[in-house]
Structures are given as C-alpha cells and as structure tokens.
Structure 1
Amino acid sequence: MAVAYFVTGTDTEIGKTTIAAGLLHAARAVGLSTAAAKPVASGCEPTAEGLRNGDALALLGECSLPLVYDEVNPLAFAPAIAPHLAAREAGVELDVEALAGPVRQVLAKGADFSLVEGAGGWRVPLAGSASLSDLPIALGLPVILVVGVRLGCINHALLTAEAILRDGLTLAGWVANVVDPATSRLEENLATLGERLPAPCLGRVPRLADATPAAVAAFLKLSPLLRIAG
C-alpha cells in the first residue's frame, strides 16, 4: 500500500529536510519506492537550469522514482525570506491550490513511500488568510513533526501538535532532532516530549558531523509509519 506524509517542524532551520531525506533513505533501504515534494521554497540559488533549492535537491536525491526538479519544487524563490513575502515580491499568488496541484501529481505516481515537506513551521502564511497548514488539510495527509531539540522546544512541540490535531489531521509520529547538544537537561526534555506528544517517537537524531541521509536513517524507525498507514 502506498503511503504519504506531510513533514513539518517546530520552527525553521531545525532539520526538516535532514530528517525527511533520512526517512526516504530508510524506506529505500527496505525496498520501498520513494517520491518527495517541497512545493514552495525560498532561498534558492540561480543556476543554468533555473532557481534551485538545496533542500529540494536533497529530497530529489532520495527519490527512487524518475522525478525532475520542477516536479519536486514547482515554486522556487530567490530571497531567503518567508515564502509568502518572496512570492509577493515575485508577483506570484501563493494559494493552497497552486501548491496542492503539483503535489497531487507527485503523489499520483504511486510511490510506496512519499513525503511532502513544508517550509518553516505549521502556520507559515500563504496569500490572504491561508496558511501552509491548509496544504496537508487539502491533501488529507497525516503529519510527521520534526522537533528541533533546544531550549524552548517543549512548548513549540506541544503547541504545534495541538494545532495539527485541532486542524483535524493525524500526528503520525515525531522525531527528536538534537540541533543543540548542549541543551540543559537534555534527557529530561526528551522524556517530557515522549510523555506529552500524542504520537510515537520515530527516532532521536544526534548532532552529526556529516548528516548524510544514510547516517540519519540509522537513527530512525520507519515501522511505526508503515503500521499507522497500513
């Protein structure tokens, strides 16, 4: 059975792509076909082929299906600012359907394991009153929450989990990504997250000198996602 999840985080720059690429690698390692989408990305670099985003390229590198870049990241903007601001400066209407249509095309390819990565946190604005959280709602995708473990992460994680559930979606699992290994009372913080987040922990990823998808995958558990989806 083909399964798909939306990947969000407690904030920006907390390792959503690192974890998503690790999950895709773990799926490939057990023989599953993979696909991914990052429908909107800012902070893209100009190339001969057009604007390219490092996170989207990392996801594309872990897709076993023959996707091209524009399928993974159809909306790319150069400024490293909030996507709705970058889109506004580019004269692009960043609404939910502009994102959902291309994602549906990727999901329709029928990979065994597909991930859709958001930008920033759960309530990143789109055009008008819409938020990026409206995308997984429109697609009906369960959510994987990447918790950037550092001071303040418990509050951010619990509020994000509450918002996901209030929006009527399933929190399928969460990953502790230790972005600050010097976090005071690290073990106690992780224990509190485990007690209070209403979903299985998919892994605890330490700060790695070389966070390749293969290295990250070694710390992740894919089986809860396959059981939930099945």
Structure 2
Amino acid sequence: MTLSLFVTGTDTEIGKTFVSAALLRGLAHAGLRATALKPIAAGAYERDGVWRNEDADQLDAAASVLLPPDMRTPFLLKEPAAPHIAAALEGVTLDMQRIVECHRQACERADAVVVEGVGGFCVPLTAEHDTADLAVALDLPVVLVVGMRLGCISHALLTAQAIAARGLALAGWVANRIDPAMTFPEENIDALRERLAARYGAPLIGVVPHLRGGSADHAAEHLNIEMLLARLGAGMAAPVPR
C-alpha cells in the first residue's frame, strides 16, 4: 500500500516546499520510492521553451521517483498570485478530480507520495472550493509546517483547528526556523508541542534549523521519519478536537 500525505503550512513563504523536499529525502533514506505531487503551482518561468516552477523543480530534485510534469503538476499557472486569481487570468478551471486522478496514478508508481498544497490551508481555488477542499478530496493525513516567527502559535492552532474541522487527521507538525532572530523560539515550540498533542494528537516530527543554503538531505536529518511512517502506517483517523 502506498503511503501518502498532504503538506500544508501556516502561511505562504514559510518553507513548505523545503520541508516537503526534506520529507521526500527522509522517505527515500528509509528505503521507500518517494515521489512528489505539486498539484497547483502559481508562478512559472520559461527555460528551453518549457514552462517550469521553482517549487516543483525543488521537489523533483528531492524525489527518488520522478513523475511526468503534467502528472506532478497538472495545473502550472504563470502568474505568481493566489491560484484563483492566476487561474482566472489564464482562463483555467482548477479541477480537483483531475488532481485526484493524478494522485491515483502517482500512487501506482511509488511507495510514498508527498502532496504539497499551495499557500496556506484555506487558499481559494475556485468560487466554491479552496485547498482545504482539495485535501478532503484526496482524503490524506496532513503534515503542518509551522514557520517559526512572531505570531506562529495562533496561526498554527487556527490551522490545526481548520484541519480537524474538515475531518482530516493531523499526522504531525514540523517547526521550521525561518526567522533566526525570533525571540523565545524554544518556548514557542514547547507551547505548540503541548497544545497540538493534547488537542489533536499531533506530535512534533522535527525542528528544522535556519539553514541558509542548506540541502533537503541536511533538513531531513532533523525529521523523525520513523515516527511519521509509524503514524501513517497505522491508518490514522481524525480525532475530535477538544
């Protein structure tokens, strides 16, 4: 059975792609054929006549199994903007069923699939749906990346609450030290560790230090992949939030 998870974040620009790449490297080091899905990417550049996305490139570099680009990223939008805005500019409809089908195909090719969302957990995709609806459609346990900076406790708890409200399991969370000058980082991590475990049964998977120019392999050394695999393999159910 293929293991799969959905990676979301407390905001945009908090290192979600970097942590997703680290998860891919950790899974590969654990002996799994790991691949990435970046279903929606907003912001593209052209090279050799092909449109590409930097986040998708980073995930491909970390994966041990590569998917065809149109399977890995079925919706590649050129404008670096919120997905519903970029899609409207290009006349594209973000079809979740197409993403679900790409995920199904990815699961046939790998032992583990890391699906990276876009932006935060409730970013609009269409007039009716957002990224939370996409996570529900995929029906995957969620890993929450918390960008450690001032205000992160509220952002993390609100996101965890939204994940539970959609009936999804929170497999765990990663503290990503994006602000090296943050005061009281350990106290913030301790506050989140206690609350996310007590309310949602979500353990801290790892603390990624501020790694300027660091590699995904280096970041993977700070993640407890064995614990994550144990939780994913146990067939997680979403807890009732307290």
Bin the TM-score by the shorter chain: over 0.9
The code of the aligned residue for 2:221 comes to A
Quote how far apart the aligned CAs of 1:9 are: 0.2
The code of the aligned residue for 1:224 comes to M
Gaps (5+ residues) in structure 2? 234-242
Structure 1 segments, 4+ long, off by >3 Å, are: none
User: What residue number does 1:209 align with?
Assistant: 212
How is 1:41-190 mapped onto 2 (pairs within 5 angstroms)? 41-109=41-109, 111-190=110-189
Quote how far apart the aligned CAs of 1:196 are: 0.8
Indicate if the aligned counterparts of 2:25 and 2:217 stay in contact, CA closer than 8 A. Answer: yes
d(CA) in 1 for partners of 2:70, 2:49: 10
User: What residue number does 2:236 align with?
Assistant: none
d(CA) in 2 for partners of 1:181, 1:64: 31
- SS of aligned partner of 2:62: coil
User: What residue number does 1:223 align with?
Assistant: 226
The code of the aligned residue for 2:90 comes to A
Quote how far apart the aligned CAs of 1:49 are: 4.4
Aligned CA distance change for structure 1 residues 70 and 49 (closer, same or farther; 3 Å): farther
d(CA) in 2 for partners of 1:115, 1:39: 11
- SS of aligned partner of 2:70: helix
Indicate if the aligned counterparts of 2:8 and 2:121 stay in contact, CA closer than 8 A. Answer: yes
Q: CA RMSD of the aligned region, Å? A: 1.2
Aligned CA distance change for structure 1 residues 66 and 209 (closer, same or farther; 3 Å): closer
- SS of aligned partner of 2:206: strand
The code of the aligned residue for 1:219 comes to H
- SS of aligned partner of 2:144: strand
Aligned CA distance change for structure 1 residues 25 and 91 (closer, same or farther; 3 Å): same
Q: Which moved more, 1:151-160 or 1:182-191?
A: 182-191
The code of the aligned residue for 1:95 comes to D
The code of the aligned residue for 2:100 comes to A
Q: Which moved more, 1:45-54 or 1:160-169?
A: 45-54
The code of the aligned residue for 2:16 comes to K
Instruction: Tell me the number of residue pairs that the alignment of Structure 1 and Structure 2 aligns.
Output: 229
Q: What CA deviation, in whole Å up to 9, does each residue of 1:144-200 have, x standing for no partner?
A: 000000000000000000000110000001000011121121111111010111301
Q: What CA deviation, in whole Å up to 9, does each residue of 1:66-123 have, x standing for no partner?
A: 42222211211111110110010000012322332222221232x2221100000000
The sequence identity of aligned pairs, in percent, is 47
TM-score w.r.t. the length of structure 2 is: 0.91
Quote how far apart the aligned CAs of 1:220 are: 0.8
- SS of aligned partner of 1:202: strand
